[in-house]
């Protein structure tokens, strides 16, 4: 057992993260070639040209985590007749500086994602890019790709368009404060009042986002709510894990990004070009989802049905909101992971079961995810009439690689999170906790305790325990270095 006693908890977690990343084939640091390429880069302010619209006069704003510096998107609304609203989503043009097959691109292609660990964030792109030159930063002009869509009063998307533009971020906003304001539990943030008419614009965006969400749920999109726990440090020493709740501001961005990704996928499909799609197939463990519903006196159909599942989730959220995040976690585990696949012209790949959409891609976070950068390059080639940057075989290989590395990244983040959790639980060996089963397979049974929200392995008393089951467990051992947290059924 390794317990943090030297006051360097964050340093220990970073060292563990580097080791685990290396074990899974990630590059924690940028090569000398990549750093040399970075040193020669010049800022692109987004000077207008014949191919780009000048949209710097619109009241664009970013909303992200309180500590986020890599800003991938800006949003703005425009009211139209007949209760319609024009929504524009600006996505950072990363490709303008990060060219295919360069040293920085090779690093991004290998890792495929930024990795967010309790000890350190390992960005997919050097921070001078992701939080600087290719970030849609406050009070900066930047080149962007704009997804432009009209949303009618019923939440249907009309007149979608995609084009190059130059934009300006007038307000850097945070989910927590904007969410509290929209929900009526906090004051309007100063950054909003500093921009003329921005408050009204954000209220329009919030209304449209809620309409989009309601429409998606009518089509069968799943209303899921999980508890995301982030480490709280006092200096370098971890002191707590704090659950982050979803807010109206989080939902605003989430709903707009879902709509933008849907529009992007359909745009590329209409242009008859090969593209990456993000899919979540029909859940293989639907039978267990049916069992969980039956235990709550609800009958689901024998065959997978996203609309029926969402009706069940909506009913449970209303009946028992306190327990709903735990139910959501069980359903997410049983739905299975998403994956990247290639859709070729005149072919149809599976849709996204959880979002209840047929056409979906990842395109709105090119500073953080390589599939989004791939999609951006395909979009720009399509808009400019240029040759495709990737051939079919390359896309198929990249889809498989990105899927695998995404899974690997989650395992790295999870393992380091468990190391942080093990540090936090180091003085609680022998304590008992209420828990829920989050995973049950041949390789092991997993449970999550509620306070603090920490997951570990059930090494004794796991017979007959399945996903969603509630039980009382006792902490029997930890290993900070390996991220092991072991429980037995009490």
Q: pLDDT tens-digit profile of 198-249?
A: 999 999 999 999 999 998 888 777 777 776 777 788 777 888 777 777 889 9
Question: In this structure, is residue 289 part of a structural domain?
Answer: no
* Residues with pLDDT less than 50, the chain: 1-7
Q: Tokens representing 387?
A: 């040759």
pTM (two decimals): 0.87
pLDDT at 454: 87
Residue from 189, 197, 154 nearest 172 by CA: 189
Cis peptide bond upstream of 452, omega within 30: yes
Q: Per DSSP, what are the bridge partners of residue 299?
A: none
214-224 CB burial, b ≥16 within 10 A, e <16: ebbbeebbbbb
Q: Tokens representing 142?
A: 């930047």
Question: In this structure, is residue 297 part of a structural domain?
Answer: no
Cα gap 158→10, rounded to integer Å: 48
Q: Phi and psi for 258 in degrees, rounded to 5? A: -60, -45
pLDDT at 356: 65
Place of tokens 């993000």: 278
User: What is the total count of domains within the chain?
Assistant: 1
Question: In this structure, is residue 61 part of a structural domain?
Answer: yes
pLDDT at 306: 85
Question: In this structure, is residue 366 part of a structural domain?
Answer: yes
Question: In this structure, is residue 489 part of a structural domain?
Answer: no
Share of the chain residues as helix, strand and coil, in percent rounded to the nearest 5: 35, 25, 40
Question: In this structure, is residue 123 part of a structural domain?
Answer: yes
pLDDT at 49: 56
Question: In this structure, is residue 481 part of a structural domain?
Answer: no
With beta carbons less than 8 A apart as the criterion, state whether 447 and 435 touch.
yes
Note down the domain range covering 396: 9-281+338-421
Q: pLDDT tens-digit profile of 272-314?
A: 999 999 988 888 789 999 999 998 899 999 988 888 998 898 8
Residue from 428, 155, 450, 229 nearest 322 by CA: 450
Q: Tokens representing 357?
A: 């959409």
Cα gap 455→241, rounded to integer Å: 12
pLDDT at 372: 97
Question: In this structure, is residue 460 part of a structural domain?
Answer: no
């Amino acid at each position: 057992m390794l317990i943090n006693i030297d006051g360097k908890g964050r340093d220990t977690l970073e060292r563990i993260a580097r080791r685990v990343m290396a074990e899974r084939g990630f590059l924690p640091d940028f090569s000398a070639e990549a750093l040399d390429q970075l040193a020669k880069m010049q800022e692109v302010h987004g000077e207008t040209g014949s191919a780009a619209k000048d949209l710097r006069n619109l009241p664009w704003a970013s909303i992200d985590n309180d500590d986020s510096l890599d800003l991938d998107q800006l949003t703005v609304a425009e009211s139209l007749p007949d209760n319609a609203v024009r929504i524009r989503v600006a996505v950072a043009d990363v490709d303008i500086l990060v060219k295919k097959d360069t040293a920085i691109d090779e690093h991004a292609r290998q890792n495929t994602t930024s990795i967010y660990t309790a000890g350190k964030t390992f960005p997919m792109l050097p921070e001078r890019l992701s939080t600087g030159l290719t970030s849609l930063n406050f009070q900066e002009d930047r080149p962007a790709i704009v997804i432009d869509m009209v949303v009618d009063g019923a939440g249907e998307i009309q007149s979608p368009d995609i084009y190059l533009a130059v934009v300006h971020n007038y307000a850097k906003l945070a989910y927590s404060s904007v969410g509290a304001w929209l929900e009526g539990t906090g004051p309007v943030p100063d950054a909003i009042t500093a921009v003329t008419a921005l408050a009204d614009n954000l209220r329009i965006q919030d209304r449209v986002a809620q309409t989009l969400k309601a429409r998606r749920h009518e089509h069968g999109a799943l209303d899921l709510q999980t508890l995301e726990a982030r480490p709280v440090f006092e200096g370098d020493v971890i002191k707590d894990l704090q659950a982050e709740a979803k807010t109206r501001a989080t939902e605003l961005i989430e709903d707009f990004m879902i709509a933008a990704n849907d529009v992007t996928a359909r745009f590329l499909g209409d242009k008859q070009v090969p593209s990456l799609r993000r899919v979540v197939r029909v859940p293989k463990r639907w039978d267990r989802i049916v069992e969980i519903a039956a235990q709550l006196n609800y009958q689901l159909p024998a065959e997978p049905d996203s609309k029926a599942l969402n009706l069940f989730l909506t009913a449970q959220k209303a009946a028992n909101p306190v327990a709903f995040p735990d139910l959501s976690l069980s359903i997410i585990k049983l739905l299975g992971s998403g994956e990247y696949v290639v859709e070729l012209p005149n072919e149809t790949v599976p849709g996204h079961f959880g979002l209840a959409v047929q056409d979906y891609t990842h395109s709105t976070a090119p500073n953080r995810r390589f599939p989004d950068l791939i999609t951006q390059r395909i979009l720009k080639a399509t808009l400019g009439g240029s040759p495709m940057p990737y051939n079919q075989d390359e896309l198929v290989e990249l889809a498989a690689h990105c899927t695998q590395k995404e899974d690997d990244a989650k395992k790295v983040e999870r393992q380091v999170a468990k190391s942080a959790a093990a540090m936090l639980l180091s003085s609680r060996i022998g304590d008992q906790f209420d828990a829920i089963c989050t995973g049950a397979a041949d390789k092991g049974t997993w449970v999550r305790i509620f306070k603090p929200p920490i997951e570990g392995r059930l090494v004794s008393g796991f017979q007959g325990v399945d996903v969603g089951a509630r039980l009382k467990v006792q902490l029997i051992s930890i290993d900070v270095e390996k991220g092991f947290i072991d429980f037995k059924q009490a």
